Structure formats: structure tokens, C-alpha cells
Amino acid sequence: MFEVNAASFQVSGKCLLQPTELTFVEGQVYGLIGHNGSGKSTLLKLLAQQQPASQGAIHLDGRPLSAWGTREFARQVAYLPQHLPSAENLTGRELVGFGRYPWHGLLGRLTREDHAQIERAIALTHTEAFADRLVDTLSGGERQRVWLAMLLAQGSRYLLLDEPLAALDIAHQVEVLALVRKLCHELGLGVIIVLHDVNMAARYCDRLIALHSGRLLAEGSPGEMMCDATLEAIYGIPMRVMSHPGGEHSIAVIH
């Protein structure tokens, strides 16, 4: 269990995240929504130990994050930043292999178990067909699936994804989110994902957490959050929620 206990973050005298209380459990997909600069990525970086909270604390399984060693923490939590590092001259399989570093170190030799976990991650993400191609030659959707396979190879219980749909077309957005949701529920993972598209968030997430100007504004199921007044408060523009033509869920449009 992740617990955010009055955690906040300030830099250069500016408060990017006000004191926040949240709980995340495994087996759920949590969508962080809100306008640009609302604090979504800041919160995710605090959870990922990319930056320490200015005040308050964050606990994983009852232990403050500061009490976890780097490799020990990476065995529990995998983080995919918004701006991905270069994978130049790496094949998909080689990139997935980097996910095993918490178990043997960056310079350690891969064991039989490491290779088994790499192949398992490739199979789970259906990336076998292009696992031996250079990552730089893959399409946007293929590339995101390989990065996701790397996170799965890490063997962590929580996946933290910062805007993984950026620069993807609609077909690849649906492909990636459907895969994330499927893996979360089948493997019992906890997934916390920053999303800009509220309709995508409502369709594929179990819980939505809305931030506004660094403040936690609302939290609930998609059914609870998808209402005109709540969305107007989140995004600051008139919104209308209506039933999807397929009847499965609601969608929001600018009113």
C-alpha cells in the first residue's frame, strides 16, 4: 500500500503540490487528471522517489520512502517518466533486459531467472514480433509496449506512468491503455498513470484523482467523477457529461 500523508512539494518558494492525503492499493488503475501544471507529474515523482517531499511523508507498506534502498525500492516500484531516455542502438529485448537491474545490478550477468522474466514480459506485452528490432525503428505504440515490457521485467508491484500516451495516435492510445488495464487486473499490480484525456481516464481507470493548482480537488470512481460540475471545477471550462453511444460508459464534451 502507498500512503501519502500530508505530503507537499515546493521549489524556489513556489508550492507545486499542497499537503495531500491519498492511499493507493494494488490491483487498481489510478488516473491522475487535471490541467497542465496542476501537480500530477509532481505527485508521481514524489511517489517514484524522483524528488523528496518538502513536508509530510509518503509510506510504502508502512515504511517511509527514505527508509528504502534504491534497488530495494525498484523491486517494488517501477517508474516511466514522461520524457524517455535514449534507447539508441538497443533492440527491444535488450531494453527489456534493463528492467532486471534491481535484481543483479547494471553490470551483473543475467541469470536464467532474469532471462525467464524478460521473455515473460515480452510475451505479456505481445512484443515478440519486434523484440529483436532496434527500438528507434519501432512505431510509437510498439515503442511504448517495449518500455512497458521493461517495467514488467523489473518485477515491481507498482507501475508509475507519466503521460505514456504523449505523441501516440488514438489507436495506439487505446492499445496501450487497454494493455495496462489488462495487466493490472490479471497480475494484481497497482498502476498510477498521468493522463490528459479525461475520457480515456474514465474508460480505463478504476479510480480518478483530480488535482487543480497543486491541490487535491476530488477523488472517486469514474462514475462519481464524470459529472458536469466536477469536471468544470477540474478544467475550468463548461463541460457536459453524456452517455456513450455504446451505452457502456459516460463521455465528457466541452459545453
- Please tell me the predicted confidence (pLDDT) of residue 31: 98
Residue 222 phi, psi (nearest 5) = -55, -40
Instruction: Report the run of H or E that residue 197 belongs to, with start and end.
Output: none
In the chain, where the domains are located? 2-254
Single-letter residue type at 64: P
Per-residue pLDDT of 92-147, as tens digits, reads: 999 999 999 999 866 678 899 999 999 999 999 999 999 999 999 999 889 999 99
What is the distance between the alpha carbons of residues 65 and 55, in angstroms, rounded to a whole number? Answer: 13
Mean pLDDT of the chain: 93
Tell me: domain 2-254, CATH 3.40.50.300, correct? yes
- Please tell me the predicted confidence (pLDDT) of residue 249: 74
| pTM of the complete model | 0.93
Per-residue pLDDT of 70-99, as tens digits, reads: 999 999 999 999 888 888 899 999 999 999
C-alpha cell at 204: 480505463
Asked whether the predicted pLDDT for residue 246 surpasses 80, the reply is no
